[in-house]
Structure formats: structure tokens, C-alpha cells
Structure 1
Amino acid sequence: MLRPAYPIRTARLLLRPFTRADVGDVWAYQRQPEVARYMSWEPRTLAQTEAAVAQMAREDRLAGEGDCLSLAVVRADDDRVVGQVELVWHSTTSRQGEVGYVFNPDHHGQGLATEAAREMLRLGFDGLGLHRIVGRCHAENGASARLLERLGMRREAHFVDNELVKGAWRSQFVYAVLAAEYRLRS
């Protein structure tokens, strides 16, 4: 079981559970075609974002296999939600997890996603005792692939046309890092 003490502080960010008050900030990026392009969903309506935030607000701990920890990424200097990070607990027996993230394009290129995702790796390895964490991205999403590489993850797979998403075949990169590798870099 992992339920962090909130907020989690990094150099420039606060990571905390979502609240209803975050809907406006989240909708600011979930409604953008540029963001939805690499997601399984289309640009979201306000009502869809309200439902997504309500779901993410319940994802504040990892109690067992299959659980997802979804945290709002908040700039410490202005208290605005700039994105979200997730850690999914895939396997208790094999100690496997997955990291994910979505950020407002207005805040790209500042290292915020790397900073937040690095903290999720720390939670997975140090807080939950995972052995291996993966990260997946659309094969055409070069920015996401570079972020996973900055986290010290290696590309382990390139699945060609492995998913039918929004009526089109999508290829995917899979990256991973082991706890031992993570500790060597920390």
C-alpha cells in the first residue's frame, strides 16, 4: 500500500490529489487537439473533463494490483495545475508498474514533466518497492520519447500498428527502467 503524504514537493512543483477546483486548469489542456492527438480520447468537453477529474480525485493511493495513482502537477509559484502524472501498479508478484503523464502545452519545454515523472519513479521504486517501471508513448510523439529517455529509461520495444485508436492503427514505443538502474542514477 502506498498513500504518500501530500503535497509532494519537488524543486518547482507540488504533486497532490486532484480536486473539483482543478477542472478549469485541466480542461485548459484536455480540450486541445494537440494534447488529445496522442491520447486514446478526443478533445474533451467540459462535462467529460469534470468526469475525468472526479475519477482522478479518487486515485490518491495504491492499495493493490491494478490501482492507479493520479496526481495533479501544480506550479509551486502560482498554484496552477499544469499537468498530471500517474503511476499504475501492474503486478504485485513481479513488482511491475507504469508511469504516465499529460501536460498543458503552454508549459512544455521547461522540464516540469521530467521533474514530476522522476518523482513518480521515486514513489514506485522507493515507496512501493517496484522492480521495474515501464513508460509507453505513441511512436510519433518524439517529445514523450525524449522525456522517457531523460528519465533513464531504455526503449525496449517498438510495436508497429499494434492498436486501433480513433479509427487508425497506432504504433507504440515501450520504455523501461529497473530499480537497480534507477538507483545507480539517483
Structure 2
Amino acid sequence: MELRTERLLLRPFTPDDLTALHSWHSDPEVVRYLFWDVLDLDGARDLLERRLGRVTVPEADGESIHFAVRYGTEVIGDVHLELLSAEQRCAEIGYVFGGAQAGRGFAGEAARELLRFGFDDLALHRIVGKCAAEHRASQAVLRKIGMRQEAHFVEALWVKDAWVSEQEWAILEHEWRG
């Protein structure tokens, strides 16, 4: 399965994406707000193996689909949609892009396409996005794609030996259409 935007191709990961995936997951600034630390090549290989296995449309709670984001001939990021509740028709989106891609609108463009995919193709009712409360760039992406902040959980997660506050953003299908 592939998704397209004006500038981007969202496609399944392939074994050839290891170098690209490693490039951003080995950057301390990129992984600063992720649940894991910088990945060495073996760690990136393990992550890629997990991404390679998630190429079908999620149907059960906890299943996800991951896409490599390609701009021109270069893979520049990783986006996913995880089904949180099939019964409630709710999913979560997420994205990680290489630091060199910051500020070029790629994360927002890819995330908007995930919203379209979720609402149009999966008939979802609600899609959420979560980010660290300190991650201003991610908040800007979520705001730009039409999500609203619904919650701020103070010191809710223990990540990398510290308590982290988290924000939850969301958009409903009828808001997306409106």
C-alpha cells in the first residue's frame, strides 16, 4: 500500500531503507523526544525489521501500519498509524523525520495524509497525536493539521531516567471534513 501527497510518497519500508532510518535514529536531537535513545546500526536494523512487518491495514487494537516517507529519491522520515480501538474507531498517528528536514513542512504534509487515510479509508471517528509537552515543533505540526490539544498530563511518563509531561491532541472525523 502506498499513499501520495503533492511532494511525498508514503510507502512500506524495504531493506534498502536501513541507512536512512539509521541516519535520523542516530541523531540525538531527533530521538530527544522518543522513548528510546540513539540507535547504533544494529538497533536501527532491529527497528527496520519491525517496520517491515507492519505493512497491512490495522484491524485489531494495537496493530499499526508504518510508512517510509520519500521525497524525490530520498527517504526522509517514518510515519505510522496505530489502531487504539476498533470498536471506538480511534487511532493514533506518529512521525519521525531527519533533522535536516526540519521546518520544510514534510511532517505536517505526511501527517495530514495519515488523517485522510484514517478518516477516508479506515472510517475512523477520532485520531489522536501525542507528544512531549516540551516538544514545540511537534505541537506546531499537530496544530497545523487541525488537531486541538485536549490534555496535558504532568510528569505522566518515565522516559530516559526522567519524568516527562505529555500532551494529547485530537481531531474528529466531522471536524476533518468541516
For the criterion TM > 0.5, the same-fold answer is yes
The 2-side partners of 1:138 and 1:56 are apart by 23
Q: Report how many residues are paired.
A: 177
The alpha carbon displacement at 1:65 in A equals 2.1
Letter of the 2:62 counterpart: G
Counting aligned pairs with the same residue, the percent is: 42
The alpha carbon displacement at 1:64 in A equals 2.2
Q: 1:67 aligns with which of 32, 47, 63?
A: 63
Letter of the 2:41 counterpart: L
RMSD of the alignment, in Å? 0.8
| Equivalent residue, structure 1, for 2:154 | 160
| Equivalent residue, structure 2, for 1:44 | 39
Report the TM-score, using the length of structure 2 for normalisation.
Answer: 0.97
Q: How big is each residue's C-alpha offset from its partner over 1:101-157, in whole Å with a ceiling of 9 and x where there is no partner?
A: 000010111111111110001111111111000000000000000100001000000
Q: Match of 2:67, SS? A: strand
Q: How big is each residue's C-alpha offset from its partner over 1:44-92, in whole Å with a ceiling of 9 and x where there is no partner?
A: 01000011011111111223221111100000x2x11100111001111
Report the TM-score, using the length of structure 1 for normalisation.
Answer: 0.93
The 1-side partners of 2:52 and 2:106 are apart by 21
The 1-side partners of 2:79 and 2:59 are apart by 18
Instruction: Give the gaps of 5 or more residues in structure 2.
Output: none
Structure 1 residue ranges, 4+ long, deviating more than 4 angstroms after superposition: none
Instruction: Give the gaps of 5 or more residues in structure 1.
Output: none
Q: Is 1:32 aligned to 2:27, yes or no?
A: yes
Q: Match of 2:6, SS? A: coil
Q: Is this contact kept in 2: 1:19–1:54, CA < 8 A? A: no
The 2-side partners of 1:81 and 1:50 are apart by 16
Q: Is 1:23 aligned to 2:22, yes or no?
A: no
